[in-house]
Amino acid sequence: MTSRSVAKPVGSKLEQLHVGVIGVGRMGACHARNLAGRIPGARLVALADPDAAARERLRAELGVPFGYDDFRELVHRDDVDAVVIATPVEIREEIVRECVAAGKHIFSEKPVAADLATTRRIRRLLSGAGVKYQLGFMRRFDPGYAYAYEQIQGGRIGQPVLIRLTSRDASGPPVSYVRTSGGLFVDSSVHDFDLARWLMGDEVASVFALGGRFVYHDYAAAGDIDTGVVALHFRRGGLGLHDNSRHSGYGYDIRTEILGTEGAIQVGYLESRPVVVLQDGRVGHDTVADFLERFRDAYLAEMQHFVDCLHRGEEPAVGVEDGERSLEIALAALASLRTGQPQPVPVPGDPDTLERAGGDGQEVA
């Protein structure tokens, strides 16, 4: 049995939580920049990434004291209280295992893992480990989505009955990223599936998916699609429609509408700046570039929540179970895409539905 260190309690509110970031790509750099001065109660002390040039550039930019090729050296530093994992998904389990053994709290980028077997192993690793774990479903911390959630909880639109969720990237990632990402539904739609569960206040019972490759034909080599739609059927009868595309041709576009028995709420916007140009019989505005711009406030708020939870000794609001549920929906959507048939989503703790949904160890192509 692995011996475990006990996670260090973070003392008074004035004490700084010492954080290390593993992986300094798009997301890791964003979290590192936030932690280096924008998150009261936290101090960024180390970066780990085998890409030494990128790591040292960021370390110099932010004045981070320590940098490592090997994440283990960061995890085992005595002065590191918590770790942000922003690496490609396939090495998550190894990093979580190391963090649990060292008693380090974890903020992990989504998804928890690319397949259910690994996700469930990670959940079991964390269970009773004494370390806190937050998953990077940042949309829940976006001011618009947080407000919509409060309104729905307060009964403003009555009983939610239908959710429509659109996600479009301006342009797609290279096939090298796609190959290890888990695919469109696992890599990207998990955010929408999490929103769907959270905003509808219900679990998804079954899904039906369609998809195709229209722009990035090279994704065929990774067994992935660039555009997909998923119909959702919730356990209490509610309905959902999700569409996702890696290429919008105009900008980054995340919009959600929840229809209730007494009204609807729409979340999302297209303009980056609140400026409209009216000229020559035309009306125009710019668009949001990417997730880093659209969810800038949400990335900051989710990290502040993580740090605050550690200071207060509270569980973060979004954890490994939320990641597991969303991945179950994503994998059911993938199974539906492949079989052309509707697919059930497993009911937690029910072995029958788990088996019907493809078992415990369903792998992504």
In angstroms, the first-to-last Cα distance of the chain is: 32
Give the integer Cα–Cα distance in Å for 183 and 192.
14
Residue keyed to tokens 């770790």: 83
Q: Which of residues 256-315 bind ligand NAD (CB under 6 A)?
A: 291
Binding of ligand NAD at residue 251 (CB under 6 A)?
A: no
**Binding test (CB under 6 A) with ligand NAD, winner from 39, 71, 164, 310:** 71
Give the integer Cα–Cα distance in Å for 235 and 123.
24
Sole window of 16-24, 115-123, 147-155, 197-205 interacting with ligand NAD (rule: CB under 6 A): 16-24
Least separation in angstroms between residue 254's CB and ligand NAD is 10
Sole window of 20-28, 120-128, 163-171, 228-236 interacting with ligand NAD (rule: CB under 6 A): 20-28
> Count of residues binding ligand NAD (CB under 6 A)?
24
Sole window of 25-33, 158-166, 198-206, 250-258 interacting with ligand NAD (rule: CB under 6 A): 25-33
Q: Which of residues 113-142 bind ligand NAD (CB under 6 A)?
A: 136, 138
Closer CB to ligand NAD, residue 17 or residue 74?
74
Closer CB to ligand NAD, residue 72 or residue 213?
72
Sole window of 83-91, 210-218, 224-232, 240-248 interacting with ligand NAD (rule: CB under 6 A): 83-91
Binding of ligand NAD at residue 50 (CB under 6 A)?
A: yes
Please name the amino acid found at residue 40: P
Sole window of 21-29, 267-275, 279-287, 337-345 interacting with ligand NAD (rule: CB under 6 A): 21-29
Sole window of 87-95, 119-127, 237-245, 330-338 interacting with ligand NAD (rule: CB under 6 A): 87-95
**Binding test (CB under 6 A) with ligand NAD, winner from 28, 211, 238, 251:** 28
CA 231 to chain centre: 21
For the CA atoms of the chain, what is the radius of gyration? 21
Write the interaction track for ligand NAD spanning residues 173-212; mark x where CB under 6 A is met and - where it is not: --------------x-------------------------
> What's the CA angle centered on 141, arms 21 and 113, to 5 degrees?
50
Closer CB to ligand NAD, residue 180 or residue 287?
180
Phi (first) and psi of residue 233, to 5 degrees:
-120, 120
Sole window of 26-34, 251-259, 275-283, 344-352 interacting with ligand NAD (rule: CB under 6 A): 26-34
**Binding test (CB under 6 A) with ligand NAD, winner from 7, 24, 35, 265:** 24
Least separation in angstroms between residue 86's CB and ligand NAD is 5
Binding of ligand NAD at residue 27 (CB under 6 A)?
A: yes
Least separation in angstroms between residue 300's CB and ligand NAD is 13
Instruction: Tell me which residues touch ligand NAD (CB under 6 A).
Output: 22-28, 48-51, 54, 71, 86-89, 91, 109-110, 136, 138, 187, 291
